[in-house]
Amino acid sequence: MKKMMTLGVLFSVLSGCGSVSTVFQHDADVARNLRKQKTYCQSIPRIYSGLAFDFCMLNAPPNPAGAVSFVLFDLPLSAAFDTVLLPYTIYRQAGDGNMSIYWRRDGY
């Protein structure tokens, strides 16, 4: 029972992690999450995308839900995960380029 609780807490923390959000979700979902926060970022690189995601969250109007404290907690976790995922994200960056947050109507 204790192991299941620990795994549940671990998965819930990782689901909010910037690295997990940007690497394992579709680009449209990542962009939607950042647009909901009204971030001022236009795009984020795929390399160290978790850190970029967290900095974009910090570069948004203040959120009364205490998102800043979570983002500050998430920064070192994202840095660690981004470093582990570096070979994959370099490959994706070379092939796909940056993730766009705001799309123009003509698709570019």
- How many whole angstroms separate alpha carbon 14 and alpha carbon 93? 22
pLDDT tens string 27-85:
888 888 888 888 888 889 999 998 998 888 888 787 766 666 777 888 888 888 999 99
- How many whole angstroms separate alpha carbon 26 and alpha carbon 58? 21
Count of residues in the chain: 108
Domain count across the chain? 1
Give the pLDDT mean for 1-28.
64
Let me know if residue 1 belongs to a domain: no
**Close Cβ partners of 72 (under 8 Å, ≥ 6 residues apart):** none
Let me know if residue 28 belongs to a domain: yes
Show the tokens assigned to 65: 């839900």
Let me know if residue 5 belongs to a domain: no
How many Å from the N-terminal Cα to the C-terminal Cα in the chain?
50
* pTM for this entry: 0.75
